[in-house]
Amino acid sequence: MTPQGAAAQVPQRTSTSLVVLFGTYLALLAWIVLWKLDVPWIGGVQRVIKIVPFAATSGNGASAPLEVAMNLVIFIPFGVYLGLLAPRWSWWKVGASAAGASLALEITQYVLAIGSTDVTDVVVNTAGGLAGLGLLALARRHSAVTTSTMTRICSIGTVGAVLASAIFVAAPLHMTPPDGGHLQRSATVSL
């Protein structure tokens, strides 16, 4: 059996755990992109659409380099998961899926008025998904890296991201924008 044939055959147990892990990752991704690990809220932010990628618009600057890098990094697992769940998909199908998911998140930000809708994010998120697929392809070139090994790696990564998010949320200190942010956490407890 060829390595591609072996990669295309995903055992049912591995497939089910991958679907659960991918669902967990997608939920965490939505929370990160939409609410930046804050309490979910709706409205209160001016609706902004930035159509020209990587450029400043009137009233809005270009995306910060750290933000661009983070958008790339958070979509890398998207490409890895899709590469594992749909091993026969071509790179453009995975890229189109990453672009579609990113566009859906950007439209949701606009509809709920919870952030700016930026084409830069769609471009960079798509690149992140393709980078994840590329990393998976590189890993598969080594005969010791199997689908179950990649599932374990994804499991560790996803659980680690969930734990890191929980620690961030539970931490007493939080960064807020210079204008004070849209939502302040209360330090008082009422009984």
Segment 44-82, tens digit of pLDDT = 777 888 888 888 776 677 788 999 999 999 999 999 999
Write down the pLDDT at residue 32: 94
Supply the pTM of this predicted model: 0.80
What are the structural domain ranges in the chain? 12-55+62-169
Between residues 65 and 3, the one the model is more confident about: 65
Ranges 14-18, 24-28, 86-90, 132-136: which has the least confidence: 14-18
Tokens of 130: 């393709």
Cα–Cα distance measured from residue 14 to residue 3, given in angstroms and rounded to the nearest whole number:
17
* Whether 71 contacts 118, CB under 8 Å: no
Write down the pLDDT at residue 182: 46
Residue of 178, 62, 82, 179 whose CA lies nearest to 123: 62
Mean pLDDT over residues 142-167, rounded?
A: 88
